[in-house]
Amino acid sequence: MKRSILRLFKLLCIVLIGTAIIAIRPWESLPPAWNPWVPLSIDHPMTPVTRMKLSQLSAAPDGCLAVLASVPEEFVDYLALEDYTPVENCQLTNVVRVQSTGVEFNTPFTLTCPLLVRWLMFEQQKLQPLAMRHLGSRVESIDHYGTFSCRNVYNREQGRRSQHASASAFDVATFRFENGAAANVLSDWDNAEVPDSSAFLRDVHSSACAYFGTVLGPDYNAPHANHFHLDTSSFNLCR
């Protein structure tokens, strides 16, 4: 009898607690970047919840495009593409064609929608503030080495596929500023003659690690001496 009463009391407590939670709705007071039920926005600061939402975009093409659709037109000029296979054994899915973001690029490029979302967040939240801090001017344009290349890592005949094989990686070489200055990864990464550009590049590299799955630069190896490699992998490698 006592056990039955105890079970009933526990059940009643659970019901009361659940009712209180539903009535109070504590999740509604969470900041958007910490609320799992609020759609992702490029304005959200990077939190564990933001990272979780970003990780879900690869399996949710419509959700990813919805994020892009919420971005003001002046911050991104893109075209959503149907899945296609430009080169045998390298199918592209959930990809978009980019003309510009908040900056211009030396050439248009195709990349995955999740990578573009990460780039937009990084550009607005870190890249431009760092440009103003170090160079006193916003980044106006970027020279890049592209995104898609149907190959294995380092063009090896054997081994795993490169992130470039799915357009999930972006190689950035030079940042050009509105005031006429420039920061080139190859020449300015460790150049005492241009300390502002060098400091800018190093801060860009380190801050990018919170937004991308892998960030590689000149200190990683010789093949990356002239660019930053940014991708959406799950390796969490920052070198």
Give a yes or no: residue 185 inside a domain. yes
Give a yes or no: residue 8 inside a domain. no
Among candidate residues 169, 173, 171, 151, the one with its CA nearest the CA of residue 213: 169
Q: Measuring CA to CA, how many Å separate 157 from each of 87, 149, 150, 165?
A: 16, 14, 12, 14
Give a yes or no: residue 92 inside a domain. yes
Give a yes or no: residue 5 inside a domain. no
Give a yes or no: residue 192 inside a domain. yes
Q: What is the pLDDT of residues 69-99, one digit of tens each?
A: 999 999 999 999 999 999 998 999 999 999 9
Give a yes or no: residue 6 inside a domain. no
Give a yes or no: residue 1 inside a domain. no
**Boundaries of domain holding 25:** 14-238
Give a yes or no: residue 9 inside a domain. no
How far apart CA 226 and CA 185 sit, in angstroms, is 5
Asked whether the beta carbons of 158 and 190 are under 8 A apart, the reply is no
- Rg of the chain, C-alpha, whole Å: 22
What total number of domains does the chain contain?
1
How far apart CA 88 and CA 76 sit, in angstroms, is 30
How far apart CA 143 and CA 183 sit, in angstroms, is 10
Q: What is the pLDDT of residues 126-176, one digit of tens each?
A: 999 999 999 999 999 999 999 999 998 887 877 788 999 999 999 999 999
Which tokens go with 26?
Answer: 């504590």
